[in-house]
Structure 1
Amino acid sequence: MTGFAPEWLALREDADAEARSGELADRARDLLAVNREPLVIRDLGCGTGSMGRWLSARLGGPQHWVLHDRDPRLLELAGASLSGVTVGTSGVTVETRLGDLTALGAADLAGASLVTASALLDLLTRDQVNSLAAACVEAGVPALFTLSVAGRVELDPADPLDARLQDAFNAHQRRDGLLGPDAPAVAVEAFEGLGARVETRPSPWRLRPGALVREWMRGWVEAACEQEPGLAGEADGYLRRRESARAVVHHVDLLAVP
């Protein structure tokens, strides 16, 4: 799994919050309302804690967040930011766990009320998603995974190079056995195969011209060119043409209930 710069995570946080499915988050809240308090939430690949900042207010009540990440710098930022969060009259308590979250098993998730992650599943392999699903189901813990890439981008205005770049980017996402845009379907298959009830909802980024769409597009084009070097000669011209483009970047949110 690849690390991410805090600056990029901060730039995308508002777009992430707008895109995530409030409907699935509310379903998770209603499901957890029967659990004992405080809720124990395990956030896998927490980054700077944006999922916690978004979801904690929606869940309500006393909460204890266990933050997992392999990047100590991000983990420190996430722990500090969530430690100051208040939900109603209750404070959110936090602990951090540094390490490889793909090694977590059912025993590690025991006692959790909910497992959650944002923009994670597409960075995993099929075996890792299968293992994560098995851990959640065996532990009897619902899972809410948001913002898995769907492999589809809509750009306005359109450009003749769009489709070729999208295909190359999707191939780059699947390198070394990673799931990339196949992740939502694989996760649904994994959870349903273990008897869990699964719901999915679209969660598209809707990006207007500005810093985020420029930074996203630069990374999108760079990855496509890395996958298909023949595109490199057209990259600079393409980016100049797209400076005022709007983008819809499709994602999928998933709620699995054992």
Structure 2
Amino acid sequence: MSTPASGGEPARVTPDWLALREGADAAARAAELLDPLRAYLAEVAPERLVIQDLGCGTGSQVRWLAGRLRGPQHWILRDRDPELLAHVDEGVPTSAADGGPVTVETRQGDLTALRADDFGGTSLVTASALLDLLTFDEIDDLAAACVDAGCPALLTLSVAGRADLSPADPLDAELAEAFNAHQRRTTGGRRLLGPDAPDAATKAFERRGAVVRSRPSPWRLGADSAALAEEWLRGWVAAACEQRPDLTSRTDPYLRRRLQACHAGELGVVLHHTDLLVLPPRAVAA
């Protein structure tokens, strides 16, 4: 969940932000992708799973997925940020769906430097809210590493470039366009893919013969998630204004209106994401 270190100072996320969004992430992930994944893993790794989670943040992926897979599991959680890795042990499950043991280790480092050799002996590669923070070349390298190592991948919660707010406001579309441009910005010599990442990843894996399944995984925020909606809204507007400073004079009253509606339980947000399940070229799954 944190930006890989490469070519410039990456954006930082905090443990508090990751804790705030974890419930929405868990509810959004496309659980229907798990049946073909389980079928594949049962065939190729029936005794013990080794799972590498890239950009793990504080460990939300292992907390969500470990209890939904069967058998003994060893997770290798990778992130560039030692502060996030220090929080990994909080709430990490110790048993799988069938009671098998789950163990975890953390590794700090540059995710963009990983190659097929780093995935040797790995049963599954996962990532959450990571692809949109990568460049075209970095996604292509990730696809090559996974396919060359024969690893399936579950890549969840990549931004899809759409945010639906209700009730609608005339400024919504302009803010969304500016935010998406910000997501595609060039920083530290790296041009981020933002909402173009799921399509780029799909093409990169399919060029190498992998089978890719895509499913929507939207956040659905309402009165019961007002704190997250408020924090997201502030960040969304701030990023749009950073991209287009001319919007600032109009976003101040816009943000006041939106926050009032949020505090009154009257604001609904559907923030669209995409989940990808990638199975190696030889995989045949139900």
TM-score by length of 1: 0.97
- Matching residue of 2:81: 71
1:100 equivalent to 2:114? Answer no
1:241 equivalent to 2:257? Answer yes
The alpha-carbon deviation at position 50 of structure 1 amounts to: 0.4
Whole-angstrom distance in 2 between the partners of 1:197 and 1:170: 28
1:172 equivalent to 2:194? Answer no
Q: Which moved more, 1:247-256 or 1:86-95?
A: 86-95
**Conserved 8 A contact 2:46-2:71:** no
Residues 65-214 of structure 1: pairs in structure 2 closer than 5 A: 65-82=75-92, 84-87=93-96, 88-176=98-186, 177-209=191-223, 210-214=226-230
Q: Aligned residues, how many?
A: 257
Higher helix share: 1
Q: Which of 235, 252, 255 is matched with 1:219 structurally?
A: 235
- Matching residue of 1:230: 246
Post-superposition Cα deviations, 1:1-56, rounded to whole Å, max 9, x if no partner, equal 32211001000001000100001123212211121422000000000100000011
Give the secondary-structure state (helix, strand or coil) at the position aligned to 1:242. Answer: helix
Amino acid aligned to 2:217: S
Whole-angstrom distance in 2 between the partners of 1:23 and 1:58: 12
Give the secondary-structure state (helix, strand or coil) at the position aligned to 2:240. Answer: helix
Residues 17-96 of structure 1: pairs in structure 2 closer than 5 A: 17-34=26-43, 35-82=45-92, 84-87=93-96, 88-96=98-106
Give the secondary-structure state (helix, strand or coil) at the position aligned to 1:61. Answer: coil
1:254 equivalent to 2:279? Answer no
Amino acid aligned to 1:12: R
**Conserved 8 A contact 2:126-2:153:** yes
Whole-angstrom distance in 2 between the partners of 1:165 and 1:60: 43
Whole-angstrom distance in 2 between the partners of 1:65 and 1:134: 21
Amino acid aligned to 1:24: L
**Conserved 8 A contact 1:29-1:58:** no
- Matching residue of 1:11: 20
Q: Name segments (4+ residues, structure 1) moved above 6 Å.
A: none
**Conserved 8 A contact 2:54-2:125:** yes
Give the secondary-structure state (helix, strand or coil) at the position aligned to 1:159. Answer: coil
TM-score by length of 2: 0.88
Amino acid aligned to 1:21: A
Whole-angstrom distance in 2 between the partners of 1:139 and 1:100: 19
Whole-angstrom distance in 1 between the partners of 2:12 and 2:234: 17
Post-superposition Cα deviations, 1:210-253, rounded to whole Å, max 9, x if no partner, equal 10101000000000000000111122211121122110000000
**Conserved 8 A contact 1:44-1:116:** yes
Q: Which moved more, 1:155-164 or 1:84-93?
A: 84-93
Unpaired runs of 5+ in structure 1?
Answer: none
CA, structure 1 residues 80+37, in 2 after alignment: closer, same or farther (shift >3 Å)?
farther
Post-superposition Cα deviations, 1:114-139, rounded to whole Å, max 9, x if no partner, equal 00000000000000000000000000
Whole-angstrom distance in 2 between the partners of 1:79 and 1:135: 28
